[in-house]
A and B are shown apart, each in its own frame.
Chain A
Amino acid sequence: MLSVREFHRPKSGYRESEYEDAFSLDAEGGKFAVADGATESSFSNIWARALVSTFVANPPPLDMNDRQSVKNLLDEARRKWYAEIEWTSLPWFQKNKAVLGSYSTFLGLQVDSPVNPRRYRCITIGDSCLFHLSGPKMESFPFSDYRDLNYTPRLMWSGHGYPIGLSKDVEPPGLEVKYGKIKDGDTLILATDAISKWMLQNKATKPWQQVLENAENWDSYIGNLISSGAMKNDDITAIFISVS
């Protein structure tokens, strides 16, 4: 069985409606996704949501070619994103920006049918991370060093907004894929960049345990980490999956 706890919050001082990360999950179906919409682009929250909801609602077969899987996700998510925005009623300055499209990171995890150990595939574009805890071991993907999260991440582009729209095909960017196996007692964590960086930076003290211990007052726990400067003030999203 996969037991799931999900945590998310907007940047400190921001409203829930300004949260630009996104997540979607189907614990029974073994499908999970997180995305981090780029603040610099317009409607990146809608784009991030389109990516995660498309992936969880319609995941590619596990044996489908990785790049083709992402291409299918991109095509479907672009249609969803484009349909959700009322392009022609935007004010002039918003139109100027919206035509440039939206950007987001993406990390999707699919866990195979319940046999022990279970197979999984994780596809990622950008700097959201997957952590695999197994006994005393912790593996992280795609980064193992927190300093690797200091750079501008690779992003999924929605393609142009109105008036160019969906007329031009968009190729997926470079992606990274990990195949693995999980057994009973393991934990998987999907996390966007700020909390990933904090966990990698403090991995010697097993910070994921502190997060779970503070699950009931998660918002103030993370808020304190941010105000003390230990964690970057960013949208925070994490999905903890326990295997039993």
Chain B
Amino acid sequence: MTYEAEISRTNPSLILFLIDQSRSMSHKLPGGERSKAQEAADAINRQIGDFVLRCTKSDGIRDYFYLGVIGYGYVTGKAGSILKGDLIHPISELAGMPLRTEKRKMKVSDGSGGDIEVDYDFGVWFDPIANGDTPMCKGLSIARDAIKDWIEEHPSSYPPILINITDGQATDGNPEDIIKEIQGLKTTDGDTLVWNCHLSSNPSTPVSFPSEETDIPNDKYAISLFGVSSVLPSQYVGYAREMQIDLKDNARAYVFNAQLEQLVEFIDIGTRGPQGQMQ
């Protein structure tokens, strides 16, 4: 069986986020109040905070995960880490290095069926940028090299997960070959998983986790990204169904025309597998 390795401090797992920072990310994301760049940054920052929370124990933070965020298009033709310092950070290091924390409200259960609102500190590790073109291939190449190095050092870890969030077409070539190369990087527990979230530019119906090419509109770029999105391992199909998402057993890790709800849902499901394997 694959995607079942236990994640521990001696056998941690790698999660990489890849985020489009091209100019068109300044457009408003349907379903949200703010731009695609802002909503995507918020969703990833929230997810990093969630990883920190899950790894926090009474005696501190346990490094079950290593995380990185790669941006592409913050300057035309450029791609690279958008976190301070190294490309990949152990989760304990990330906990100590947010750019800032913001006071936000969260609802917590009151233990008797209701909710209580309480202040909490929302960690911000990077700010949204929407500036240049879409050098996705460059971003993917950086991710590929990092994943290759990671697997050499952690050959039996839970397979790395790469989550790519974009609203456009790569301006520096065809990303298919690099993505296939990344998917071919494997640990003893399975292939690297590549998740592609295609953000919406219009309010038409999103398509989450399609299984056939005919499930998505006849859009060359969408078909290309769909074709190189990983087929969901059965555990993830289960998580999606628990969230009332209707999908087939051979669904792919792809969302076409994602609005805010689908973006958040996509990241939640994409990170749920490794979180469930924490020892």
Which residues in A have some Cβ–Cβ distance to B below 8 Å?
11, 13, 17-18, 39-40, 42-46, 91-97, 99-100, 157, 159-160, 163-164, 168, 170-171, 233
Query: Can you list 16 A-B pairs with a CB-CB distance of less than 8 A?
Result: A11-B279, A13-B8, A13-B10, A18-B57, A42-B57, A93-B56, A96-B53, A99-B108, A99-B120, A100-B108, A157-B111, A160-B108, A160-B118, A168-B111, A168-B116, A233-B279
Shortest CB-to-CB span from B8 to chain A, Å, is: 7
Please determine whether A164 and B118 come into contact, CB atoms closer than 8 angstroms.
yes
User: How far apart are the CA atoms of A118 and B119 in the complex, in Å?
Assistant: 52
User: How far apart are the CA atoms of A13 and B58 in the complex, in Å?
Assistant: 18
Please give 12 more A-B residue pairs, beta carbons under 8 A apart, in addition to A99-B120, A160-B116, A233-B279. A13-B8, A40-B54, A42-B58, A44-B58, A92-B123, A93-B52, A93-B53, A93-B95, A93-B121, A96-B53, A96-B121, A160-B108
Interface centre among A40, A43, A44, A93 (most CB of B within 10 A): A93
Give every chain B residue within 8 A of A13 (Cβ-Cβ): 8, 10
Q: Is B223 part of the contact surface with A, judged by Cβ < 8 Å?
A: no
Smallest CB gap from A99: residue in B: B118
Smallest CB gap from A234: residue in B: B279
Give every chain A residue within 8 A of B53 (Cβ-Cβ): 93, 96-97
Q: Which of A11, A46, A95, A157 meets B58, CB within 8 Å?
A: A46
Known: A91-B95, A92-B121, A93-B123. A159 touches B108 (CB 8 A): no
Give every chain B residue within 8 A of A170 (Cβ-Cβ): 111
Give every chain B residue within 8 A of A17 (Cβ-Cβ): 59
Interface residue count for B (Cβ, 8 Å)?
26
Q: Is B101 part of the contact surface with A, judged by Cβ < 8 Å?
A: yes
Please determine whether A93 and B111 come into contact, CB atoms closer than 8 angstroms.
no
Q: Which of A11, A39, A95 meets B120, CB within 8 Å?
A: A95
Shortest CB-to-CB span from A186 to chain B, Å, is: 36
Give every chain B residue within 8 A of A164 (Cβ-Cβ): 108, 116, 118
Q: Is B33 part of the contact surface with A, judged by Cβ < 8 Å?
A: no
Q: Is B86 part of the contact surface with A, judged by Cβ < 8 Å?
A: no
Please determine whether A18 and B59 come into contact, CB atoms closer than 8 angstroms.
yes
User: How far apart are the CA atoms of A42 and B56 in the complex, in Å?
Assistant: 7
Contact with A along B42-79 (1 / 0, CB 8 A): 00000001001110111101000000000000000000
Shortest CB-to-CB span from B227 to chain A, Å, is: 37
User: How far apart are the CA atoms of A95 and B54 in the complex, in Å?
Assistant: 13
The A interface, classified by DSSP as helix, strand, loop or mixed, is loop
Give every chain A residue within 8 A of B119 (Cβ-Cβ): 163
User: How far apart are the CA atoms of A40 and B116 in the complex, in Å?
Assistant: 21
Minimum-distance CB pairs A-B, first 6: A92-B121, A43-B58, A96-B120, A93-B52, A93-B95, A97-B56
Please determine whether A45 and B101 come into contact, CB atoms closer than 8 angstroms.
no
User: How far apart are the CA atoms of A13 and B95 in the complex, in Å?
Assistant: 24
Give every chain A residue within 8 A of B56 (Cβ-Cβ): 42, 93-94, 97
Known: A13-B8, A17-B59, A45-B58. A171 touches B123 (CB 8 A): no
Smallest CB gap from B52: residue in A: A93
Smallest CB gap from A47: residue in B: B58
User: How far apart are the CA atoms of A82 and B235 in the complex, in Å?
Assistant: 38
Give every chain B residue within 8 A of A95 (Cβ-Cβ): 120-121
Give every chain A residue within 8 A of B52 (Cβ-Cβ): 93
Give every chain A residue within 8 A of B120 (Cβ-Cβ): 95-96, 99
Q: Is B214 part of the contact surface with A, judged by Cβ < 8 Å?
A: no
Please determine whether A171 and B116 come into contact, CB atoms closer than 8 angstroms.
no
Give every chain A residue within 8 A of B54 (Cβ-Cβ): 40
Shortest CB-to-CB span from A89 to chain B, Å, is: 13
Known: A91-B95, A92-B121. A171 touches B111 (CB 8 A): yes
Give every chain A residue within 8 A of B108 (Cβ-Cβ): 99-100, 160, 164
Q: Is B112 part of the contact surface with A, judged by Cβ < 8 Å?
A: yes
Q: Which of B49, B118, B121 meets A163, CB within 8 Å?
A: B118
Give every chain B residue within 8 A of A42 (Cβ-Cβ): 56-58
Give every chain B residue within 8 A of A96 (Cβ-Cβ): 49, 53, 120-121
Shortest CB-to-CB span from B77 to chain A, Å, is: 36
Give every chain B residue within 8 A of A92 (Cβ-Cβ): 101, 121, 123
Contact with A along B103-138 (1 / 0, CB 8 A): 000001011100010111101000000000000000
Segment 7-61 of B: residues with Cβ below 8 Å from A = 8, 10, 49, 52-54, 56-59, 61
User: How far apart are the CA atoms of A99 and B112 in the complex, in Å?
Assistant: 16
User: How far apart are the CA atoms of A227 and B8 in the complex, in Å?
Assistant: 15
Shortest CB-to-CB span from A87 to chain B, Å, is: 13
Shortest CB-to-CB span from B147 to chain A, Å, is: 26
User: How far apart are the CA atoms of A184 and B131 in the complex, in Å?
Assistant: 81
Give every chain B residue within 8 A of A18 (Cβ-Cβ): 57, 59
Give every chain B residue within 8 A of A93 (Cβ-Cβ): 49, 52-53, 56, 61, 95, 121, 123
Shortest CB-to-CB span from B202 to chain A, Å, is: 36
